[in-house]
């Protein structure tokens, strides 16, 4: 996987979108399937992004299963901080 500006933009989009959806639902967990209805990434691409974000401690992947391997994501405190930073730039 190449890491460049389009990669970073996609990661930012995932974090920002996840935060917005979690705020709307007032839940701590977000379904990966629901998230990808907005993101429209292919399964392998999304799986790789989620694992990268988990490895960098922006999200946790508390459940497995479903069409995207992971069932739900949660933003960590680091992910929450990053999402707020990204949303303040809008």
Single out the residue of 7, 19, 5, 6 nearest to residue 85, CA to CA.
19
- CATH says 7-88 is which class? mainly alpha
Tell me the per-residue pLDDT of 4-60, one tens digit each, with 9 for 90 and over. 566 799 999 999 999 999 999 988 899 999 999 999 999 999 999 999 999 999 999
Classify strands 70-75 and 59-64 as parallel, antiparallel or unpaired.
antiparallel
What residue ranges do the domains of the chain occupy?
A: 7-88
pTM of the prediction?
0.88
> What are the C-alpha distances in Å from 7 to residues 3, 11, 46, 53, 58?
6, 6, 12, 12, 15
Tell me the per-residue pLDDT of 16-31, one tens digit each, with 9 for 90 and over. 999 999 999 988 899 9
Neighbours of 41 (CB within 10 A): 18
């Amino acid at each position: 996987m190449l890491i460049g500006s389009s990669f970073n933009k996609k990661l930012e989009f995932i974090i920002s979108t996840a935060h917005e959806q979690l705020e709307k639902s007032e839940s701590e967990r977000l379904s990966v399937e629901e998230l990808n209805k907005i993101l429209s990434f292919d399964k392998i691409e999304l799986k790789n992004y989620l694992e990268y974000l988990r490895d960098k401690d922006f999200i946790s992947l508390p459940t497995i299963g479903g069409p995207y391997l992971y069932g739900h994501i949660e933003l960590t405190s680091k992910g929450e901080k990053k999402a707020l930073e990204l949303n303040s730039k809008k």
